[in-house]
Amino acid sequence: MDPQSPDILYAAAYERRRTPYGFNGGGPDGGIYKTTDGGTTWKKLSKGLPYENGGGDIGRIGLDIYRKDPNIVYAIVQHEKGGTYRSDDKGETWKKMGDTNPRPSYYSQIRIDPNNDLRIWELGAQMFYSEDGGKKFATDRVKGIHGDYHAMWIDPADSSHMIAGSDGGIHWSYDSGRTWDFVNTMAIGQFYEISVDNEKPYKICGGLQDNGGGEKLVRAEPVADARRHHQ
């Protein structure tokens, strides 16, 4: 959502179907869409993007808007010619900044420093950091904490204050990501998948990611029929 005009929104769409026997993570009809009337009507943005002239499947897309000047929008686009893109006119035209887009089907998260439109972060198994709008990235800024990053918040009042969410939990930094503190006061876990059996009361099984150094399968056995409480 445009921070200065809430009727302007951007949406990234792509074909996706994941089954036990296969994964479809793209197709010809995806792309970036924009509305200026709060979602009543939408148009597909394409000028300068890798799918402008058709051809190739479009996969997952990450977006971010620069807080101080919402004319500036960044996107990371999964495509055979994809990578990191920048717009200076609210998405009407785009310029490719570079090829970086770490494992897009799994991450596709990009963040612009709220006080510097050339400082951007792309989340992946490592943290990717750029000072030139995505032309070059480094991965040696964030070290010593669990990887697989899926979330990041940067304080608009102080860019050195950051919070990162990864498969290993939540960390915060007060020096622009050079050092981090682990938030160990919350009992949190990440389940990849959960399922139930047909017993009464039924058992819940789940695959837990990166808990105690490795993936685990856990099972809960309720003392009463939970179906009564989940209508």
Give the pLDDT mean for 200-204: 89
On whether the CB atoms of residues 31 and 58 are closer than 8 A, the answer is yes
How high does pLDDT run on average in the chain?
90
The burial class, CB within 10 Å (0-12 / 13-18 / 19+), for 110 is: buried
Euclidean distance between CA atoms 48 and 138, whole angstroms: 25
> What is the per-residue pLDDT for 227?
42
How are strands ordered across the β-sheet holding 162-166?
Answer: 149-154, 162-166, 169-173, 181-182
Instruction: Express each pLDDT in 127-153 by its tens digit.
Output: 999 999 999 999 999 999 989 999 999
Instruction: Please write down the long-range contacts of 105-108, taking CB distance under 8 Å and 24 or more positions apart.
Output: 105/23, 105/25, 105/59, 105/60, 105/78, 107/62, 107/149, 107/150, 108/60, 108/61, 108/62, 108/76, 108/78
Q: What domains can be seen in the chain, in order of their start residue?
A: 9-182 (2.130.10.10), 190-229 (no CATH)
Q: Given a cut of 50, is residue 213 above it in pLDDT?
A: no
Beta bridge partners of 205: 195, 219
